[in-house]
């Protein structure tokens, strides 16, 4: 039996996909969530597709939101605006999580006011997660 994991607002993924992300899931259904940290425009966009998050107006607020999110055990992915991830305290926290923990996966995306990269958001997410959205 293939365990199904619901990644809120994104898609249903299988154990194999989660294994590729370094996340273990037991058989049965387990709800793992996505979470976003960014400005109000970014948060609103993700909330429209069912992903909860924390609005941050400064790097300090983003750092506090990230620290709080990392205490949760139901998050498979944390999406954070590059506007905040470039700041030293937030960067240190992200680097420490990537170094010391297998999950959650932390993805940095351009913020709503960032420079457009010419890459569609869905393509960036698909490449990062290794799944087609």
pLDDT tens by residue, 82-132: 999 989 999 999 999 999 998 899 999 887 776 655 666 677 666 666 666
pLDDT at 115: 60
pTM for this predicted structure = 0.67
Q: What is the pLDDT of residue 129?
A: 63
5: confidence class by pLDDT, cuts 50, 70, 90: very low
Q: Is 14's pLDDT higher than 70?
A: no
Instruction: Between 110 and 40, name the one with better pLDDT.
Output: 40
The third-level CATH classification (topology) of the domain covering 33-129 is Rossmann fold (3.40.50)
**Both structure tokens of 64:** 């506090």
Nearest by Cα to 69 from 118, 123, 121, 107: 107
pLDDT for the residue numbered 32 = 72
pLDDT at 9 over 70: no
- Cβ atoms 114, 81 nearer than 8 A: yes
Q: Which residues pair with 53 in a beta bridge?
A: 36
């Amino acid at each position: 039996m293939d365990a199904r994991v619901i990644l809120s607002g994104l898609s249903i993924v299988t154990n194999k996909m989660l294994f590729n992300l370094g996340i273990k899931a037991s058989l049965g259904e387990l709800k793992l969530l996505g979470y976003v940290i960014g400005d109000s425009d970014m948060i609103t966009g993700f909330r429209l597709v069912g992903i909860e998050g924390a609005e941050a107006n400064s790097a300090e607020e983003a750092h506090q939101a990230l620290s709080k999110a990392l205490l949760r055990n139901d998050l498979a992915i944390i999406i954070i605006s590059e506007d905040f991830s470039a700041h030293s305290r937030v960067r240190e926290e992200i680097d420490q999580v990537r170094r010391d923990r297998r999950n959650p996966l932390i993805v940095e995306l351009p913020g709503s006011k960032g420079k457009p990269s010419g890459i569609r958001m869905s393509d960036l997410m698909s490449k990062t997660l290794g799944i087609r959205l």
